[in-house]
């Protein structure tokens, strides 16, 4: 709804499959010495020498994972990459290569795909990763995106979901609930747009939250900070489905419980304001809203001095012996059992 309708378009058939991928990837330069062979052969070749390689993959389907009504293709390309990189950082690894596969229907022009790849290219530049391959195919089912990210890791630095022990600090990066609030605003504007397509929304007051939804970042800076502080999180996960769901994953994998303190959960003032507008409890946005792509980790008590008051990190609780029991301690000191109510795309199936 925000796009320029006057752009020249080229149909995909005019280019053909092999020319299309050559055309879309011609501005991608290689950033990593480990990338021996990139695009253009049957497979890419990566030379990791003495480190481990880490692999993560995601499948994104139009109208399930993204809505092109308010998601510009360039942002979508950027976000699709970032979401995968976030999984690599959450292993405490450095991403180095991605493959991007697209299923595209003929309602997309070459120019539209260029926008998507421009987003992919910007993410590659920002995160210093290489696009090394992929598959481009036709789809009679809208846009389908599959991305695989590969990263490197020193053996003694792995942070898995398991490994947290009693008394470890539960630490989160950034703040939570922003992407969810941004989505509420965008859904509202979409509804307004359907009624009155000429309405030009003023979204300035919501720019932080909308940015969190449309152009999220993976926490490369947190990964680098941890390295600098010589902290290896005992366990780590990225927050894609909401804090509740992710903390339960850590507890289940580590066979341990945790207490989270309500008043420690970092929430941006704009998110509180939007939640007020929509009559949602901001805590619900933080606990159950997904797509913040912050890192949630278990850090040993002995590291507390290194991280306290750091602007990137907030201690929101600690792990406990109570196996797989995660509790929220409210500001009135009530204990509430945390259950997973995160964003679950399977349950959205129709």
Task: List binders of a second copy among 156-195 (CB under 8 A).
Answer: 158, 160-161
**Structure tokens given for 249:** 């994953």
Taking Cα atoms as reference points, which of 345, 344, 292, 342 lies closest to residue 61?
345
Our finding on whether 269 is near a second copy (CB under 8 A) is no
Q: Judged by CB under 8 A, does residue 243 bind a second copy?
A: no
3-state class of 258 per DSSP? Answer: strand
Per-residue contact track with a second copy, 55 to 84, x per CB under 8 A?
xxxxxxxxxxx-------------------
Structure-token pair, residue 262: 């309500």
**CA distances (Å), 220 to each of 212, 240, 247, in order?**
16, 16, 21
Site for a second copy in 114-153 (CB under 8 A): 132-142, 144, 146, 148-151, 153
| Least spacing, CB of residue 173 vs a second copy, in Å | 15
Instruction: Tell me whether residue 39 or residue 210 sits nearer to a second copy (CB atom).
Output: 39
- The correct pick among 9, 29, 106, 324 for binding a second copy (CB under 8 A) is 106
Applying the rule CB under 8 A, the residues between 201 and 220 that interact with a second copy are none
Least Cα distance to 294 among 210, 235, 217, 209 occurs for 217
Cβ nearer to a second copy, comparing 84 with 209: 84
* Options 101-109, 165-173, 179-187, 211-219: segment touching a second copy (CB under 8 A): 101-109
H helices of 128-206, where?
178-195
First CA to last CA distance, the chain:
26
Piece of 98-106, 183-191, 197-205, 217-225 that binds a second copy (CB under 8 A):
98-106
By rule CB under 8 A, what count of residues binds a second copy? 77
In the three-class reduction of DSSP (H, G, I as helix; E, B as strand; rest coil), residue 233 is classed as coil
Contacts to a second copy from residues 275-294, by CB under 8 A? none
Q: Output the CA–CA distances (angstroms, integers) from residue 136 to 74, 80, 85, 113, in the order listed.
A: 17, 16, 21, 11
Q: Are 244 and 338 in contact (CB under 8 A)?
A: yes
C-beta of 46 vs 170, nearer to a second copy: 46
CB contact at 8 A, 251 and 258: yes
Q: Is 9 in the site for a second copy (CB under 8 A)?
A: no
239 — phi, psi (to 5°)? -90, 90
Minimum distance, C-beta of residue 12 to a second copy, in the bound complex (Å) = 6
Quick one: which H or E segment has residue 42?
A: none
Residue 13, token pair as written in the block? 């058939």
Residue 44 within binding range of a second copy, rule CB under 8 A: yes
Question: 294, 312 in Cβ contact below 8 A?
Answer: no
Closest by CA position to 121, among listed 26, 218, 17, 7:
26
Residue closer to a second copy, measured from CB, 15 or 267: 15
Q: Does 111 bind a second copy (CB under 8 A)?
A: no
Tell me if 22 contacts a second copy by CB under 8 A. Answer: no
Closer residue to a second copy (CB): 143 or 299: 143
Q: How far is the CB of 242 from a second copy (least distance, A)?
A: 13
1 is a site residue for a second copy (CB under 8 A): no
Q: How far is the CB of 191 from a second copy (least distance, A)?
A: 20
């Amino acid at each position: 709804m925000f796009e320029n309708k006057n752009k020249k378009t080229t149909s995909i058939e005019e280019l053909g499959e092999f020319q299309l991928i050559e055309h879309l990837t011609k501005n991608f330069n290689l950033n990593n010495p480990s990338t021996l062979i990139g695009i253009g052969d049957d497979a890419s070749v990566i030379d990791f020498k003495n480190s481990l390689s880490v692999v993560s993959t995601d499948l994104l389907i139009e109208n399930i994972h993204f809505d092109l009504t308010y998601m510009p293709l360039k942002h979508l390309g950027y976000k699709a990459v970032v979401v995968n990189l976030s999984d690599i950082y959450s292993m405490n690894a450095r991403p180095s290569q991605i493959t991007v596969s697209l299923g595209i229907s003929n309602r997309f022009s070459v120019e539209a795909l260029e926008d998507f790849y421009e987003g992919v290219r910007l993410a590659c530049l920002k995160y210093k990763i290489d696009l090394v391959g992929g598959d481009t195919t036709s789809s009679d089912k809208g846009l389908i995106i599959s991305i695989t990210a590969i990263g490197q890791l020193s053996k003694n630095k792995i942070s898995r979901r398991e490994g947290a022990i009693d008394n470890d600090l539960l630490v989160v990066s950034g703040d939570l609930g922003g992407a969810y609030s941004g989505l509420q605003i965008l859904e509202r504007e979409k509804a307004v747009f359907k009624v009155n397509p000429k309405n030009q929304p003023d979204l300035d007051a919501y720019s932080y939250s909308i940015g969190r939804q449309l152009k999220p970042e993976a926490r490369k800076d947190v990964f680098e900070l941890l390295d600098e502080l010589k902290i290896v999180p005992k366990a780590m996960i990225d927050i894609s489905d909401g804090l509740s769901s992710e903390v339960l994953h850590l507890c289940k994998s580590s066979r341990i419980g945790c207490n989270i303190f309500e008043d420690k959960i970092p929430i941006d003032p704009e998110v509180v304001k939007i939640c007020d507008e929509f009559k949602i409890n901001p805590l619900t946005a933080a606990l159950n809203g997904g797509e913040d792509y912050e890192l949630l980790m278990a850090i040993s008590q002995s590291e507390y001095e290194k991280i306290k008051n750091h602007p990137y990190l907030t201690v929101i609780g600690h792990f406990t012996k109570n196996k797989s029991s995660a509790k929220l301690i409210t500001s009135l000191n009530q204990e509430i059992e945390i259950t997973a109510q995160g964003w679950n795309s399977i349950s959205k199936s129709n």
